[in-house]
Amino acid sequence: MDLSELRIDGKRLQNTLEEMATIGATPGGGVQRLALTDEDKQARDLFVQWLQDLNLKVTIDEMGNIFGKREGTNDDLPPIVSGSHLDSQPKGGRFDGVLGVMGPLEVLRTLHENNIETIRSIVIVDWTNEEGSRFAPCMVGSGVWAGALDRDWVYQRTALNDTRFIDELERIGYRGETATTKWPIHAYYEYHIEQGPILEIERKIIGAPKGILCLHWYDIYLEGEANQVGPTPMEGRHDALCAAAEMILKVNRLPEKKGGNLVATVGEIQNYPNSRNIIPDKVHFTVDIRSWDDVHALNAWYDLRRDFEVIADQRGCPINIEETWRVEHARFDERLVKRVLDTAEELEHSNLYMFSGAGHDASYMNQIAATAMIFVPSLDGRSHVEVENTSWKDCEAGANVLLHCMLKSANETG
């Protein structure tokens, strides 16, 4: 068979994605499959079953990462790896992550039914807790695997109700035996929706990011003084929520103040005791800062932290700052990025060289292996929301680009 003629089955990919989307389906048309919940377990179980249906060798490691391996003709050569994540945001979408796991699954189904052998083995992977929404930070499965994060630190991370990561990993039965340790990889491809508006604006089907912004996460804890809201005069209050409000606006204005390539967001807040007639005495909120320039992001943070300290002082609300997590910007392998663009061209799909504002497991994989990503458009540029959508046609196009990129890498002997 002329390999260049080979195509994945778009309808089968659609059916697979639709079946996955029933797990944790939300009334608004999205999914809620937070890491290590029962819904995550159900999605994992189905994925493992599909791996076994293809007679792949399934391995589950100590972080709950799930690998499915299809042997090549020369298993001495480092394999090709492709994957992403099955967990989602709260009220998240049906494509973020799961497309990057079902895409390579469809690639392997296509190779299987056409009896196509590759020289190198191919491994597909579901990384644990990419979203970091229930247990911060994100990308911990790939982070530990790549040697950038400490397994035991991640095990002890807690959700809002103080449940530990390790206890939930065990509870859903996905604490595997295999050590979470990197092994040599020839090429890592991650297929993903863009999660932004650029491909749609530029009217392109395939995006090849040159890399991913740095991500810096902080947790801010403020202490105030609780009191009855009626009798307590406005002067002399120590209102932790008002201090937080001032700080949150500083975060929002940070990119304008600092200029350059920068976005900054507060996405999560807890207010205590959260009663309309008690002055708040405890607030926790998060800060997310991203840039292509790691130093710029750090300097912006130092500036912001000084503002936080001044506000905390003025309001008499002691502040405690946790510098929770940082991952540096990732510049992908130029050869593989070019391969994505060239392959899109060969398949007659319009394409664009761009960058990724969203974080991906590819960021950590890029630290240890030649890495590239394949993006397809997000309708109206919406993601991390229930209405997140990508046309089936574009899902198919991206999967075909993935197929041919994987085939080219899998048949390289050098």
Specify the residue, 20 or 358, whose C-beta has the smaller distance to ligand GLV.
358
Select the binding partner of residue 63 from Mn ion, ligand GLV, none (C-beta < 5 to 8 A, by kind): none
Answer yes or no whether residue 358 interacts with ligand GLV by CB under 6 A: yes
Question: Per the omega criterion (within 30 degrees of 0), is the bond before 137 cis?
Answer: yes
Q: Which residue is listed with tokens 């020369």?
A: 74
Give dist(CA 379, CA 383) in Å, integer: 9
Give dist(CA 222, CA 284) in Å, integer: 6
Give dist(CA 115, CA 73) in Å, integer: 13
Rg (the chain; Cα; Å)? 23
CB of 133: closest distance to ligand GLV in angstroms? 8
Dihedral sign from CA coordinates of 164, 64, 41, 33? positive
Residues that contact Mn ion, how many (by CB under 5 A): 2
Site map for Mn ion, 39-78, x if CB under 5 A?
----------------------------------------
Where b means 16+ CB within 10 Å and e means fewer, 266-280 reads beeeebeeeeeeebb
Burial class for 182, CB neighbours closer than 10 Å (0-12, 13-18, 19+)? middle
Asked if 4 and 346 touch (Cβ cutoff 8 Å), the reply is yes
Select from 93, 359, 377, 398 the one that contacts ligand GLV (CB under 6 A). 359
Dihedral sign from CA coordinates of 136, 141, 143, 149? positive
Specify the residue, 103 or 280, whose C-beta has the smaller distance to ligand GLV.
103
Specify the residue, 131 or 239, whose C-beta has the smaller distance to ligand GLV.
131
Select from 34, 105, 138, 283 the one that contacts ligand GLV (CB under 6 A). 138
Select from 40, 62, 87, 96 the one that contacts Mn ion (CB under 5 A). 96
* Closest among 411, 384, 346, 111 to 206, alpha carbons compared: 346
Q: Footprint of ligand GLV on residues 95-134 (CB under 6 A)?
A: 131
Answer yes or no whether residue 365 interacts with ligand GLV by CB under 6 A: no
CB of 30: closest distance to Mn ion in angstroms? 12
Select the binding partner of residue 138 from ligand GLV, Mn ion, none (C-beta < 5 to 8 A, by kind): ligand GLV
Answer yes or no whether residue 214 interacts with ligand GLV by CB under 6 A: no
Segment interacting with Mn ion, rule: CB under 5 A, options 92-100, 339-347, 387-395, 400-408: 92-100
Could you write out the DSSP letters of every residue in 201-240?
A: HHT-SEEEEEEE-EEEEEEEEEE----BTTTS-STT---H
Asked if 280 and 237 touch (Cβ cutoff 8 Å), the reply is no
Looking at beta carbons, which residue is closest to Mn ion?
A: 97
Could you give the residue ranges of the DSSP H alpha helices within 120-259? 140-145, 151-155, 165-171, 198-202, 240-258
Give dist(CA 41, CA 11) in Å, integer: 25
Select the binding partner of residue 359 from ligand GLV, Mn ion, none (C-beta < 5 to 8 A, by kind): ligand GLV
Specify the residue, 192 or 315, whose C-beta has the smaller distance to ligand GLV.
192
Select from 79, 93, 97, 209 the one that contacts Mn ion (CB under 5 A). 97
Specify the residue, 96 or 288, whose C-beta has the smaller distance to Mn ion.
96
Asked if 213 and 291 touch (Cβ cutoff 8 Å), the reply is yes
SS3 state at 394: helix
Beta strands 214-223 and 282-291 are antiparallel
Specify the residue, 131 or 168, whose C-beta has the smaller distance to ligand GLV.
131
Specify the residue, 138 or 311, whose C-beta has the smaller distance to ligand GLV.
138
Give dist(CA 331, CA 338) in Å, integer: 13
Specify the residue, 265 or 299, whose C-beta has the smaller distance to Mn ion.
265
Select the binding partner of residue 61 from ligand GLV, Mn ion, none (C-beta < 5 to 8 A, by kind): none
Specify the residue, 33 or 315, whose C-beta has the smaller distance to ligand GLV.
33
Give the residues lining the site for Mn ion (CB under 5 A): 96-97
Residues engaged in binding ligand GLV (CB under 6 A)? 131, 138, 358-359
